[in-house]
Structure 1
Amino acid sequence: MTTVAQLTDFSDRLSPMVVKELRQGLRTRLFGGVMLALHALLVLITLMTASSTGGQARGLMDGLVSFTLCLIFPLCGFSALAGEMQANTMDMLVLTRLSTWRIVFGKWAAIIVQSLLVTISVVPYLVARYVFGGSELGADLVSLFQQWMISIVLTAAVVALSTQKHFWLRALILGLPLVITVFGSFAQIIIGIMGRATFSSGVQPQFLGYVSAVAVTAWLVFALLSFGASRIAPASSMLPVRKRLVNLAALIVLSGLAWWVDPVGLVGVMMMVLVVASLDAMTDDVNNIPSLYLPFYQRGFVGRLVSWFLAPGWMHGFLYSLLLFGVCSGLLLWLRGGGDAARLWLLGGCLWQMALFGHILAIQRRGEYLGAFFAGLCIQLLLTFLTVLVVNVSKFKTDLEWVACVMPWNAFGAPSKPFVGQWSYFQVGVMLSTLWPIFLTLPALLAFLRTRTARRQARQFALSSHE
């Protein structure tokens, strides 16, 4: 009796979105071409390493791998979601009962699995380099793993921004960071935010440094993918609440790890988490839907109080950002003194000023907050340059020095430069940065007024359910 071998395929436990995208990705000419070209070049470089004792061949190999993992594969997600929206297939994906998070995650997972295959295929060349060139195999493997982590973070960023329909906007937002990544500096900032602890002496600090790098990577991937998922989620989605809770937990956990591993890096970790969390929260769309507020009003006074900071909508995100920056600045003031606390608050002033410019530009364009924020950043940088130019070129330089203090970025550039009497540029800039959240309160109040009907109906539903 003959037995028939059963054909096996991907497990049903895998997300169908991952299976679909991975099948299509592995069949593309891009993946096959990149794999063949990379290995052909690596063979030549390995032969060069075997015949030479210099480090030029090793540097060429590292640069080639970094270019492939940190530029080519992330760019594969450049039109991942924009293509679905332009082809009008997003509604069909939603009808399959896949959540927006699973759709975005599937797009991202398919690309990082391909990059993982390429990463694993590079390991034999590292072994050959160790045999021929005498390099440290352990350090090379750790460096390769860090490059793959950088790749998955950049891929998440590209996939998240692919929700923007405008090609030029995606190109502008992604162009500069990816160019900097090619030279390695931006990549080291993302994953090596606790880098000094990673190279510390001793097993425990080194292990905790690796744990911190993995934790930062995992949080960044979640934050970026959630950012993209919220852009294609239905208006009644509560995803912004989950995002803000996770970002709050990440702020607590990563700050604790930074304080334990290397207290000097605490300020940098707080700045990174606060920037990502604030930009995400202050770009949420405003929807006048009672179901967004009903879960909060059903929990009484505490729920209503929490809704001011966690409810969907950029005006609640602004209060959420203001609360996080205020608490973290107060904590740094208690732990490290006024200098670090002032720098953190000044960073908040930069974000709130950019948000003010963005929301002024988007006052008649609901749902276009990300593009307006980018335009606000451009306006902010232009005004910063113009104020510096006016102060340095004008004949009335001494009378116009106060103009430079209006832009928060100028205070970062001249922290100890004297201004008036006992006050420095930095101190005046920190005090003026308090004005920007006050100015931002006006458009936030207008957004609150637009949701007044939804909040009133949610309160009535909550009262009727208790009766």
Structure 2
Amino acid sequence: MTVTLLTDFSDRLSPMVVKELRQGLRTRLFGGVMLVLHALLVLITLMGGTSADSGEVHGMVDGLLALTLYIVFPLSGFSALAGEIKGNTMDMLVLTRLSAGRIVLGKWASIVFQSLLVTVSVMPYVVARYVYGGSDLLADVLGLGFQWLVSAVLTAGIVALSTQKQFWLRSLLITFPLFMVALSSVSWVFVNTFKRAALAGGSTSLGIYAYLSLLVGCVWLIFALLSFGASRIAPASSLLPVWKRSVNFMALFVLVGLTWLGSGSASVIPVVLLVQIVACLDALTDDVRNLPSIYLPFYRRSWLGRLGALFLAPGWMHGFLYSLLFTGTSALLVFQMSGPHEVSYVWLMGCGLWISSFFGQILAFRRKGEYLSATFAGMCLLGFLTMMNFLLQASTRKEELKWLRTLLPLNTWSMMNESQTGLLNPFEIGLVVNAVWPLLLALLAMRAFRQTRSARLEARQLAQL
């Protein structure tokens, strides 16, 4: 008689993924989306077989998939982590020895796996569209795969922002920067660019590098957004900001290199600005942690570790120094690839982030751990002041009021391509005047450094033992 040993699932499979995916597949949302989507796709496919205008039918299919992958599934993670925080179950998850990163990854992976099942189930309709409509099967399959990848990026962003407890704040943070991005079809730019690269480039280096740049960019965005959310629920002694900032810095060089090889220097500026916004905004909203344990690993590595602590240690004041280094490196890359004129884009974008962080630090002067919401409020204040500045310039023709446009980054940005006359160039003056914002933020950073002085001194003493 032989005894058969029963084996369970591998321990490598995260229990958070298993739990969330099991619960997600049982919800009415997943079943309802699957049934409604396939019912509509059957009707659209039948219409495509009898209609002479296949382009309109293809647009209906693409729009239906975009609605499902870009809005329905990402928004299902709206309260993914807020529910755990409000229900006081986060401590129970921590007791299971799951790290903050694995918790966030499990929440995200469960939604992404559900959207992957829906994406794979659409493949027969893509084949039917190829048979009846004569479309390019390879381009449709690759485009469908990239639609799912963009959906994964949007899901990561919403899951990361679900760490905010307030419902209204999550609604604003998700509606403006993410939901409106999906509605404005920015993600379609990535999909269509990938289709053109796959069709035009094929096996050439241009198609390969364009493919790699988009693929690496999406993977990096997923990591950056999920790590952003994980740092909001991680223990105070966590050194997750070190990994985030290091990966973001490496992503700058990798993405710029791939974009330059695939599309030339003309496409480098948008990539640099995207990486700059994500990396610097994450660093400038990091909470201040007055603990010796976060400085001790740095101080044990002599002077090199102390130098790295200035830029990589947790805390928004270290993040401010990191943002200065990141912006300077980005400007140097843009200068080498596109020339000195394009460097102003990087500088003004950095000034816009620094002024938003400055307003946020003023608004959160007596609070801790709310720098993200305060920085978002600072962005709204900056947007209001910028709009009022534009309205003031449009309602008057007085030449002396023109210099008000040099006070804010976006107003200075608008003068970049204007023809300038006279000895003093208002745009160049604006580039210099906007330097006041990082200087003001530096004063607040020095105050935050003084608050953590005791932790650094204790860490230095422990490192010498």
Per the TM superposition, whether the score is higher than 0.5 is yes
The number of residue pairs the alignment matches comes to: 462
User: What does residue 84 of structure 1 align with?
Assistant: 84
AA paired with 1:247? Answer: N
User: What does residue 408 of structure 1 align with?
Assistant: 409
Query: Quick one: distance in 2 between partners of 1:192 and 1:44?
Result: 25
Query: Quick one: distance in 1 between partners of 2:383 and 2:282?
Result: 20
User: What does residue 135 of structure 1 align with?
Assistant: 135
User: What does residue 46 of structure 1 align with?
Assistant: 45
AA paired with 2:68? Answer: T
Which of 367-376 and 386-395 deviates more?
A: 386-395
Which of 167-176 and 411-420 deviates more?
A: 411-420
User: What does residue 36 of structure 1 align with?
Assistant: 35
Query: Quick one: distance in 2 between partners of 1:420 and 1:406?
Result: 19
1:382-461 aligned at under 5 Å gives the runs 382-394=384-396, 397-418=398-419, 421-461=422-462
Query: Quick one: distance in 2 between partners of 1:250 and 1:189?
Result: 21
Per-residue CA deviation, residues 3-30 of structure 1 (Å, 9 max, x unaligned), is 9996x86543210000000000001111
Query: Quick one: distance in 2 between partners of 1:48 and 1:189?
Result: 27
User: What does residue 339 of structure 1 align with?
Assistant: 341
Per-residue CA deviation, residues 315-372 of structure 1 (Å, 9 max, x unaligned), is 0001001011112213322332211111111111111111111111111111001100
Query: Quick one: distance in 1 between partners of 2:376 and 2:190?
Result: 20
Query: Quick one: distance in 1 between partners of 2:227 and 2:72?
Result: 23
Query: Quick one: distance in 2 between partners of 1:141 and 1:50?
Result: 20
Query: Quick one: distance in 1 between partners of 2:155 and 2:353?
Result: 24
Query: Quick one: distance in 2 between partners of 1:287 and 1:2?
Result: 59
TM-aligned CA distance change 1:450 to 1:131, over 3 Å: same
SS at 1:271's partner residue? helix
Query: Quick one: distance in 1 between partners of 2:123 and 2:22?
Result: 24
SS at 1:399's partner residue? helix
Query: Quick one: distance in 2 between partners of 1:257 and 1:45?
Result: 39
Query: Quick one: distance in 1 between partners of 2:298 and 2:333?
Result: 28
The Cα of 1:189 is off from its aligned counterpart by 5.6
| 2:364 counterpart of 1:365 | no
Identical residues among aligned pairs (%):
54
Query: Quick one: distance in 2 between partners of 1:349 and 1:390?
Result: 22
Query: Quick one: distance in 1 between partners of 2:401 and 2:110?
Result: 55
The Cα of 1:61 is off from its aligned counterpart by 0.8
* Contact 1:180 1:186 (8 Å CA) reproduced: no
2:285 to 262, 283, 302: 283
Query: Quick one: distance in 2 between partners of 1:5 and 1:26?
Result: 29
User: What does residue 95 of structure 2 align with?
Assistant: 95
| Consecutive unaligned residues in structure 2, runs of 5 or more | none
User: What does residue 261 of structure 2 align with?
Assistant: 260
The Cα of 1:196 is off from its aligned counterpart by 7.4
TM-aligned CA distance change 1:445 to 1:87, over 3 Å: same
The Cα of 1:387 is off from its aligned counterpart by 1.1
User: What does residue 148 of structure 1 align with?
Assistant: 148
SS at 1:400's partner residue? helix
1:220-369 aligned at under 5 Å gives the runs 220-263=221-264, 264-369=266-371
Which segments of structure 1 move beyond 6 Å, counting only runs of 4 or more?
1-6, 190-196
TM-aligned CA distance change 1:62 to 1:331, over 3 Å: closer
Which of 194-203 and 323-332 deviates more?
A: 194-203
AA paired with 1:32? Answer: G
Query: Quick one: distance in 2 between partners of 1:156 and 1:257?
Result: 23
Per-residue CA deviation, residues 165-192 of structure 1 (Å, 9 max, x unaligned), is 0010110111134443444532146677
Query: Quick one: distance in 2 between partners of 1:412 and 1:31?
Result: 45
Which of 254-263 and 289-298 deviates more?
A: 254-263
Per-residue CA deviation, residues 148-174 of structure 1 (Å, 9 max, x unaligned), is 011000000000000000010110111
Q: Kindly report the root-mean-square deviation, in angstroms, between the aligned alpha carbons of the 2 structures.
A: 2.1
* Contact 1:297 1:458 (8 Å CA) reproduced: yes
User: What does residue 168 of structure 2 align with?
Assistant: 168
* Contact 1:286 1:313 (8 Å CA) reproduced: yes
Query: Quick one: distance in 2 between partners of 1:330 and 1:267?
Result: 12
Query: Quick one: distance in 2 between partners of 1:197 and 1:344?
Result: 27
AA paired with 2:394? Answer: N
Query: Quick one: distance in 2 between partners of 1:287 and 1:59?
Result: 51
TM-aligned CA distance change 1:98 to 1:307, over 3 Å: same
The Cα of 1:394 is off from its aligned counterpart by 3.7
Which of 137-146 and 65-74 deviates more?
A: 137-146
TM-aligned CA distance change 1:174 to 1:308, over 3 Å: same
* Contact 2:139 2:199 (8 Å CA) reproduced: no
AA paired with 1:105? Answer: L
The Cα of 1:419 is off from its aligned counterpart by 5.6
AA paired with 1:436? Answer: W
TM-aligned CA distance change 1:300 to 1:368, over 3 Å: same
Query: Quick one: distance in 2 between partners of 1:192 and 1:311?
Result: 40
AA paired with 2:166? Answer: H
User: What does residue 120 of structure 1 align with?
Assistant: 120
* Contact 2:286 2:371 (8 Å CA) reproduced: yes
* Contact 1:288 1:451 (8 Å CA) reproduced: yes
Query: Quick one: distance in 2 between partners of 1:57 and 1:432?
Result: 53
SS at 2:122's partner residue? helix
* Contact 2:69 2:151 (8 Å CA) reproduced: yes
* Contact 2:16 2:107 (8 Å CA) reproduced: yes
| Consecutive unaligned residues in structure 1, runs of 5 or more | none
AA paired with 1:307? Answer: A
* Contact 1:156 1:221 (8 Å CA) reproduced: yes
Query: Quick one: distance in 2 between partners of 1:197 and 1:434?
Result: 40
The Cα of 1:2 is off from its aligned counterpart by 11
